[in-house]
Amino acid sequence: MRRLAKKFAASVLALSLVFTMGTTCFAATWGSYFGASEGWVEGAAGKLVSEKADGFTAALDTIGWGGIWGGQIFMDSTKPNTAKVSVKKGQTYTLSFTIKGTNIPKYVYVKVATGEILAYSTWIKLEPNGTVNFTKTFKAANNANSVYFGVGGDFGNRLNVATDGDADARYKVFKSTFNKDATVELANDANGDSGSATKIEVSKFTLIGQPKIKSAKSKKKKQVTVKFSKVDGAKAYKVKVGKKKYTTKKTTFTAKKVKGKKVVVRVAAVAKSSGVTGTFSAKKKVKVK
């Protein structure tokens, strides 16, 4: 009986390990698509060599000539094994990351969207072996369930391509970003060489909402109690009360020994993925007892 019990226990442990390893292996934050690596000759050839919650490294053997979306790295709520994205129309968000590229000048297009319906998008210009620290606070133009980094070779000739539905929109964004004509400037993407290789690394990736203060009151002497909305993806919150800054994990916070008769209160979310603090909320003035 003891031998049978030991064998049963060992079998349960083995099955447990297999299950745990299986679920771990399939857990992911970022998904990817490289067209030439999947049979589309015009797309980029490459692979996602590493990924974690706050970034990724993509190695492109060739950037291809099929447009930005010939190579893409994404979080998309509609696809399996990537992190979920939930952006609400009209709400304020902070998009922040550091991006590096190697060997060649490279334009990268970043969009927060649902399909081709944009909440926000922008272009990044990477110089050879250069680094860009990007931070932008935006009010979402629409709901969004995905974030995409387009890294393929885009030479500004996609305007009338039926299978490239957002070419017109992204070239207009290029114009507003750089005040230059995309169909001219993108001819120099990767020095105009679709066979170029590069490695693109993103770190400290953050997409975090802005808390809204529900109330800020002083009910007791030299105390201010702040209540604010929960933010998806936040691990903590920074609360400013006058000149002092506090950190809390709860959405109700009371500051004590507050100095001054009147103070300004603001709140920001700290991203779970990267530890980056988002944009502080609108100010709320409080009369201190």
Name the stretches of the chain with pLDDT < 70: 1-27
Partners of 186 in beta bridges: none
Residue 288, φ and ψ in degrees, nearest 5: -90, 135
pLDDT in tens, 132-184: 999 999 999 999 999 999 999 999 889 989 989 899 999 999 999 999 999 99
pLDDT in tens, 91-109: 999 999 999 999 999 999 9
Residues 203 and 218 in one domain: no
Distance (Å, whole) CA 191 – CA 181: 17
Task: Return the pLDDT at 28.
Answer: 79
Q: With 0-12 CB in 10 A as exposed, 13-18 as middle and 19+ as buried, what is 2?
A: exposed
Query: Which residue, 174, 209, 244, sits at the end of a domain?
Result: 209
Query: Which residue, 178, 209, 240, sits at the end of a domain?
Result: 209
Please say whether the dihedral angle defined by the alpha carbons of residues 170, 171, 177 and 178, taken in this order, is positive or negative: positive
Residues 188 and 239 in one domain: no
Residues 46 and 183 in one domain: yes
Q: Using an 8 Å Cβ cutoff, are 264 and 285 in contact? A: yes
